Amino acid sequence: MAMSLSASDYGAFMEKFTLLPHSSSHHPPLASLTFAVKDIFDVEGHVTGFGNPDWARTHSAASATAPAVLSMLEAGATCVGKTVMDEMAYSINGENVHYGTPRNPCAADRVPGGSSSGSAVAVGATLADFSLGTDTGGSVRVPASYCGIYGFRPSHGLVSTSGVTPMAQSFDTVGWFARDPVILKKVGKVLLQLQDDHNASKVDQLIVAEDCFDLVNIPPHQLKDVLTTSVEKLYGSQIIRYTNLGDFIESKLPNLKIFMNTTSGSKKDNIPSLAALSTAMRLLQRHEFKNNHGQWVESVKPSLGPGLSERVWEAVRSTDENIGVCRSLRGELRAALDDLLGDSGILAIPTVPGPPPELQTDPTTLESFRAKAFSLLSISGVSGLCQVSIPLGTYEDLPVAVSLVTKHGSDGFLLSFVETLHKSLKEESILS
């Protein structure tokens, strides 16, 4: 069993060091808590490695610490080091050919998820109380799901990304991991600078995206029923409604049609509008990645792992076709989903299409799973809405999760709802 391993066997840390709290308050909100930081955040005096030794070799030590890290120290938390990440933040698997793959604490033969792999493993393996990661295309939500912990992607633009190596700014967010919703909320209150508790009891609808749950490779009811039963206990069945999210998005975003022809497969394998949304997301990500790092890649020609190398060079050689449309879709989708959810609505979707894949699975075998994953991840990715991945226990001894999404700026409301839901959800969690 993975949990019988010693702390060092998890391979989560890129570099261990201690940064002590800066707080002068008598009751700092994160006192006595430890945290780890993805190796994408600047820490004064340390090189930000960005998951690649050639990057570390060609960059100097940071002259200042990222504000997100400083806010944790000022709130009383102790930093215990930097964690391993996927190279250049360009994967959702968590496998790093240079520094090793952090060991999934829930399933040692499965990937931990990336690109914030080490940050998720550090929390899942109880090496830290919480950790900071980044989420561009799913890099907090995916490893949280795979490692059986909570992962929060905030509304885009609400948490400072200063001092964080950019991947694609239209999507980059500072996210965080925790093993329980209490710490998740405490960290969120600091990062989001929330002054008051938000009333989770005001939730007026839980919208279950049934077509999204049909994408998962386990019986969909195993995920849906756990969540809906828990919500019914607290709020009654009258707030639960069901929708076909793909049809809704297609009706609200007519410009998606230009990306529909680039997707393939039957409706059983994908949701056409979400597959198109994923295509648009990845086009804009490639464009921004190229603008950020293309010159460095072409001049240094870094050593990159399999799969990752092809992805990076594809981005560097990409064109600017349809980038304007991709940018317009972001605002259109946010407006449509904000209108769907209102001030107190919550959307329920699977975080990913199922349990974590096996280590070193052939990329072609993973393609269908990855395509479905990005279809789901693109909903919050493109819209910039906040999303939390919630562990639901295990299915056939592998961790599974569900995600909740609320309108842009409703992060405090979502954190409070997750805390309120926790006890009821724990009673219904999948056990196998």
Angle at 412 between CA 408 and CA 416, to 5 degrees: 130
Tokens at 13, concatenated: 């840390």
Place of tokens 């297609």: 250
369 closest CA partner among 381, 377, 360, 357: 357
The catalytic position among 115, 116, 119, 378 is 115
100: number of CA atoms within 13 Å, CB side? 13
The tokens 């349990």 sit on which residue?
355
Please say if 344 is a catalytic residue.
Answer: no
Query: Which residue among the candidates 38, 82, 224, 290 is catalytic per the annotation?
Result: 38
The active-site residue out of 139, 278, 383, 403 is: 139
DSSP string of 107-136? -TTB---SSSHHHHHHHHTTSSSEEEEEES
Residue 273 annotated as catalytic: no
Report DSSP state, residue 79: E
User: Residue 135 and residue 133: Cα distance in Å, rounded?
Assistant: 7
DSSP character at residue 237: G
Distance separating alpha carbons of residues 253 and 257, to the nearest angstrom: 8
Q: What CA–CA distance (Å, rounded) separates 72 from 21?
A: 8
User: Is 139 tagged catalytic?
Assistant: yes
Helix (H) or strand (E) holding 349: strand 345-350
E strand residue ranges, 2-48: 13-19, 34-38
Tokens of 135: 């989420």
| Residue positions annotated with a catalytic role | 38, 115, 139
